[in-house]
Amino acid sequence: MNATIGQPLTRVDGKLKVTGTATYAAEFHRPKLAYGALIQSTIANGRVTKIDVSTAKSAAGVIGILTRENAPRFKPYPDNLTKNGAPGESRVPLQDDNVYWVGQHLGIVVAQTLEQATHAASLVRIQYEEKPPLVSLADANPVQPEKFIGREKLQAKRGDVNAALANAMHKIDVVYSTPIENHNPIETISTTAEWEASDRLLIHESTRGIKQLQKVVANSFGLPAENVHIVCKFIGGAFGSKGFQWSHTLLAAAAAQLVQRPVKLTFTRSQMFDSAGQRAYTDQRFSLGTDKTGKLVALRHATTTHCSPVSEFTEPCGNMSRMLYSCPNVDVSHRLVRLNLTTPCPMRAPGEAPGVFALECALDELAHKADIDPVEFRLRNYAEFNEFENKPWSNKKLRECYQRGAEKFGWSKGNRKPRAMLATDGSQIGFGMATAIYPAGQQKAGATAILNKDGTVVVRSATHEIGTGTYTAMSQFASDTLGIPIEKIRFELGDSQFPEAPNNGGSWLTSSVAPAVMGACRELKKKVVDLVGIWPNDSTQLANLFARSGQEQIQAEFNSEPNKEEREKFSFFSHGALFVEVHVDLLGQVRVKRAVGVYDVGRMINPRLARSQILGGMLFGFSMALMEATVPDETTGRIVNANLADYHVAVHADTPEFDIDFINEPDPHMPDLGARGIGEIGIVGAPAAVANAVFNATGKRVRDLPITPDKLI
């Protein structure tokens, strides 16, 4: 049988999706289902003095209302989910009267229909004691956070930046900034909570952290984890949302307990802006210097970002600046200010996306100043090893990415002088490039493989399908390991009763779960060989042999973990280079016309899915460069554009011609796998490539995203 790994297979779940039969969280119909609507604060800072639900209670269809008055005493979230820069909310809902941002959840109304619940929620009258909110980065006192999600240090120094700057030949000192941005997957967040018994809870939620949610909910209600069952078969996009702990799950579960019926709570589009995370503001100051040959001698990257008054998640903008380029004197720091805005969380390459945007633009400025071609400038500062961790790379083919990308794009046909290229319609043409980088994480995971009588195999793991192709990729790993056709494999995910898998994030799903899948399949093979003597690479023969064994099923399990020695010895990162052509018209409208990206992400598992991942990521990057910004009102803290008419995202009409290519060299230090993960690297560098191209087209250096027409004319 031919191997499926490396083949551009179409999605095994494609038919379910295009026929509308893939079941998303909001689509599980439960008997006696009731509908929830959130009660949310209308002020950004202060406390609730009174909640009057009397009118709401007597409105048509209302079954129950849960507020601070009748809420259960949730146990607090465990420390490992709330301290040390952890994302998600740090406080369980409805335990005090404090209000920290507009839209904070103050309760939930349950009614027979969604419309009745929504109407009744609007009838709840709340009185507040109000304080002026802090909404702007400039107004608050910063603190110095230590850790990003408990693991990465946020302050790092080597050498002497000031001394090096004093002697540098070419220098820049610039500030870049990026706005708040919101995840806007097509599927909004949804939870359906149902008490199957007084101590057993079933939750259908769009979550990319099934096991974590199970533990969080069990802990809050004081239940054993196995009494909470979380199901999520498909996720309609997440982009960093739909993970971690947020109020809505506990509210839906408590409401279901109150009314003794299943309760479904689905976010409106506007609730996606205030109820489950967003990307924080970033303000990034760079001081960079080179010697006369263009070699970096000093790099200071000081980030100020924000969190809510009750969390400490930091957007880690400087973390790639520590090691993307070779530089002896580096000072990377992060400061955090607490604003009366909803709690931020990871979004599409947290830190890397805004941080590498700023770094790659600042580098472009420096290259321009030193009069060196931007690609050449990066080659002169190539990091042969990770100078921050002082370790060799597991594998790094970035040089090849630059070379192949530049060639495909026709980089040498550009003109480094701004405003030098004109299109036939009078638009200015600009070429821009940037480097992409993303860490290749790996986590522990488990899987079960079951051989059925008919020769088919079911493989299970409590992992997730956020649209990236998990069902397909994992079926490929199982098929190749077992040597049986992919049609005979069924990969199942999205159920907390399956073996433990990590939260789906950090671009580590494949590299974490695939080893477990392969391990379980190998174990299964062994068991079958023990039982019937051989493993025939043919499912009909397999079924025949198996029939003679008299067993119903054969099951094997495997728990995988990252190879500690390799992980300690090497530094694992994916790299890439991207090149874009933009056209800027007389009205200052920027169009990305062409995008070429070449990536070194290790071995290709499925080139079709890989291309789709990178394409989506790049488009996010163009969207970030040109459109996306969440705008809170400076006096009230209310988000003024919490909808998709006013918050712009790139759509099909904004899609350029893409040329996406991969080095496709297996990583020798990812045993068995060779793949380093591909989820988030596509966005990294994309906004910088656009901004640099806009400079090349117009001579204008826009340092605050998004690059809207008003900043160019």
**What's at 248, amino acid-wise?**
H
User: Among residues 133 and 441, whose Cβ is nearest to ligand MOS?
Assistant: 441
Q: What angle do CA 483, 512, 314 make, to 5 degrees?
A: 160
CB of 279 to ligand MOS, least distance (A): 9
* C-beta separation of 159 from 220 below 8 A: no
Largest CA distance in the chain: 81
Which residue among 89, 581, 628, 680 is the active-site one?
680
Member of 506, 536, 632, 706 binding ligand MOS (CB under 6 A): 506
Q: How many CB atoms lie within 10 A of CB 497?
A: 12
Task: Enter the tokens of residue 191.
Answer: 């939870």
Residues in the chain: 713
Output Rg (C-alpha) for the chain, integer angstroms: 26
Residue 33: phi and psi, rounded to 5, are: -65, 135
Of residues 283 and 680, the one with the C-beta less far from ligand MOS: 680
CB 663 within 8 A of CB 400: yes
Q: Which is nearer to ligand MOS, 278 or 381 (CB)?
A: 278
| Chain residues 623-682 in contact with ligand MOS, contact rule CB under 6 A | 680
Residue in 87, 309, 350, 562 binding ligand MOS, rule: CB under 6 A: 350
Binding pattern for the stretch 246-275 against ligand MOS, x by CB under 6 A and - elsewhere: ------------------------------
Judged by beta carbon, residue 202 or residue 509, the one nearer ligand MOS is: 509
Q: How far is the CB of 543 from ligand MOS (least distance, A)?
A: 40
Write down the least CB distance from residue 123 to ligand MOS, Å: 37
Task: Tell me the site size for ligand MOS, rule CB under 6 A.
Answer: 8
Binding mask 541-580 for ligand MOS (x = CB under 6 A): ----------------------------------------
CA–CA separation, 613 vs 421, rounded Å?
Answer: 32
Active site residue 226: no
Q: What separation in angstroms does the CA of 627 have from each of 178, 182, 193, 346, 457?
A: 11, 12, 36, 19, 46
355 touching ligand MOS, by CB under 6 A:
no
Smallest separation, CB 233 to ligand MOS (Å)? 19
Q: Which is nearer to ligand MOS, 241 or 275 (CB)?
A: 241
| Total Cβ atoms within 10 A of residue 231 | 18
Q: Can residue 316 be called a binding residue for ligand MOS (CB under 6 A)?
A: no
185 near ligand MOS, judged by CB under 6 A: no
DSSP per residue over 235-272, as a string? -S--TT-S-S--HHHHHHHHHHHHHTS-EEEE--TGGG
- Residues 348, 368, 397, 488: which binds ligand MOS (CB under 6 A)? 348
Which range touches ligand MOS (CB under 6 A), out of 82-90, 345-353, 490-498, 616-624? 345-353
What is the distance between the alpha carbons of residues 248 and 266, in angstroms, rounded to a whole number? 9
Q: Which is nearer to ligand MOS, 464 or 611 (CB)?
A: 464
Phi, psi of 198 (to 5 degrees): -65, -15
From CA 304, how far away is CA 280, in angstroms rounded?
Answer: 10
Q: Which is closer to ligand MOS, CB of 133 or CB of 240?
A: 240
In the bound state with ligand MOS, the residue whose beta carbon lies nearer, of 107 and 346, is 346
With binding defined as CB under 6 A, does residue 346 bind ligand MOS?
yes
Give the pair of three-digit tokens for residue 626. Answer: 């040109």
By the 8 A CB rule, do 323 and 332 touch? no
- Answer for which of 185, 262, 505, 632 binds ligand MOS (CB under 6 A) is 505
Bond from prior residue into 706 cis (ω within 30 degrees of 0): yes
Binding mask 186-225 for ligand MOS (x = CB under 6 A): ----------------------------------------
Residue pair 195/254 in contact (Cβ under 8 Å)? The answer is no
Query: Least distance in Å: CB of 25 to ligand MOS?
Result: 18
Distance CA 481, CA 529 (A): 14
What is the set of active-site residues?
680
Binding site for ligand MOS (CB under 6 A): 240, 346-348, 350, 505-506, 680
